[in-house]
Structure 1
Amino acid sequence: MSATESARGSDVIRQILVIAAFVFMIIGDAVGLGAFGGTPIQEAQGGSFSPDASYLTPATEAFAIWTPIYLGLAIYVVWQALPSQRTRTRQRSLGWLIALTMVLNGLWLVTVQFLSVWATVACIVLLLAALVVTYLRAVRTHLPSDGAVDGILIDGVTGLHLGWVALATVANVAAALTATVPADWEGAASVLGVIVLVVVAVVALGVSAAGGWRIAPVLSIAWGLAWLAVARLTGDLVDVPIGIAAIVVAAVVLIIPAVARLLRERTLAD
């Protein structure tokens, strides 16, 4: 299969829709941050998304991960709109999917403002599913000849996005449960939280392995886990078992893929 083919009308439509999806996401982000008269995310849904409202919500500083994700997506949007990218097979395969992930990202932020906390769970699960499909297709179709820019702007950015949304999905579900289940469930929070973090470790390693032990997804997962540990060990909602488990899982999901990647590259070099 060649990297490029003859131009067709859908190529320009795809490029335009990718741009439109990014604009929608940014507007949704502005709404989610409280612009246009909206309520800031941490105060929306009765404060369900506050770092101290749920045992599995990271500290506020964790959300700085959106800066490299959004910057990477912005650069991708400009790059994919270039005439040189219009007919590339890889763009045709992935452009629509990346646009879908951006739309769902923006839609989640709008859902926070206007719908229920469980509606946000449904939206983020859809976003996570779309990112899994996009990422796996990206890593499986990437060729060495595609170059570093291609790898960074498609595989790398999508991987970061996927990793963060995977952890955010856990936090979102925990926030929804905290807002709706009986208060006496709090007694089981430590045990359940540690179990969930073990599952996060398994999922993170599975995603990394499926992607040839790429680091991008686990970087954002480990980042979020580190700030989850900060929130549980130093915040108002202290839970030492969850905080320690978050530190251990963060180390595991970083070290194992890094070592596996190194061994894989050495094997291929031999």
Structure 2
Amino acid sequence: MSTDTSTRPPAETATSRDVVRQIVVVVTAVLAIVLAAYGSGAFGGVAVSDAAGGALSATATTVAPATTAFSIWSVIYLGLVAYAIYQALPGQRAVTRHRRLGYWVAASLLLNAAWLFAAVQLGSVWLGAVVIVALLLVLARIFVILFHTASSGWVDAVVTDGTLGLYLGWVSVATVANIAAGLVDAGFDGFGFAAGFWSSVVLAVAALVGVVLAFAGRGRLAPALSLSWGLAWIAVGRLTGEPENVVAGVAAIVAAAVVLVVTIAVRVARGRVGATASLQR
């Protein structure tokens, strides 16, 4: 059986610049893992929950996720290591997708390390907030690249799209929590409005981010899963832990449900449109 290759793009040739890019991604991934371990209290480092006088702990604000939520970092870091190894394979060296992603992923890993240094070692909640906003913007750029470059198969879809999607969703939650921690640390009193009100506003914004990602990514699941994971653990923290706040807890549940429902609805609708288009051909 013959195979028509006339429509396939010509294979690109790997260069020394590709090798440098692959090495940079691997090195920054290792650096991020080591600093993450240090930031968790390993090697005698200060744990994130103890940094800045506890301003970043799971009980610091009414939009801080319960401690268990942070276990998702283990999955994300494992995925980032898998991506670093995957993109470093000789067969991936000249792939356009990795050429476009490489330095952006490396930048995200360096910003991750910078956040740990700013928030944990320097104890500056607001400097950490600035860094994590920059990280969120970098991950948003990565999300756009992923959308405009097709995966080469299920391995690429899981390792690249899955990992970086989870990364984006979780950092969206972390950004909200970090900014809230900065406001509380600065003495913001909410202009007389109750904590539940402000929590609901912040969580509504987080849900809106999830909805935007759902439509922009045409129902990509990974960002929605990690975003709703974080929102769900905010609900657990507020309904079963300190500071207890039923309004914030219910708002977090609603926000998580909205993100998941909208993402699944967009994905299903996209599938129907694709099926209809196939039938009309």
Of 16, 22, 43, the match for 2:50 = 43
Q: Deviations over 1:94-123 (max 9, x none)?
A: 111111111111221122223211110011
Matched position secondary structure for 1:44:
helix
After TM superposition, list the pairs within 5 Å mapping 1:1-270 onto structure 2. 2=9, 4-115=11-122, 116-142=124-150, 146-182=152-188, 187-270=193-276
Q: Please state how far the C-alpha of 1:38 moved relative to its aligned partner.
A: 2.0
Q: Please state how far the C-alpha of 1:35 moved relative to its aligned partner.
A: 2.8
Cα separation, 2, equivalents of 1:40 and 1:208: 33
Structure 1 letter corresponding to 2:94: T
Q: 1:83 to 1:186 in 2, by over 3 A?
A: farther
Cα separation, 1, equivalents of 2:81 and 2:114: 18
Instruction: Report the structure number with the largest CA radius of gyration.
Output: 2
Q: 1:184 to 1:76 in 2, by over 3 A?
A: closer
- Structure 2 unaligned blocks of 5 or more: 1-7, 277-281
TM-score, with length taken from structure 2: 0.91
Q: Deviations over 1:189-216 (max 9, x none)?
A: 2111101111111111101211111111
Structure 1 residue aligned with 2:3: none
- Structure 1 unaligned blocks of 5 or more: none
Cα separation, 2, equivalents of 1:111 and 1:184: 26
The percent of aligned pairs where both chains have the same amino acid is: 45
Cα separation, 2, equivalents of 1:123 and 1:191: 27
Q: 1:197 to 1:180 in 2, by over 3 A?
A: same
**Contact (CA 8 Å) 2:46, 2:121: kept in 1 or not?**
no
TM-score, with length taken from structure 1: 0.95
Q: 1:184 to 1:11 in 2, by over 3 A?
A: closer
**Contact (CA 8 Å) 2:63, 2:180: kept in 1 or not?**
yes
Cα separation, 2, equivalents of 1:3 and 1:93: 18
Structure 2 letter corresponding to 1:92: R
Matched position secondary structure for 2:215:
helix
Q: 1:4 to 1:105 in 2, by over 3 A?
A: farther
Cα separation, 2, equivalents of 1:254 and 1:183: 32
Cα separation, 2, equivalents of 1:182 and 1:93: 41
Number of paired residues? 268
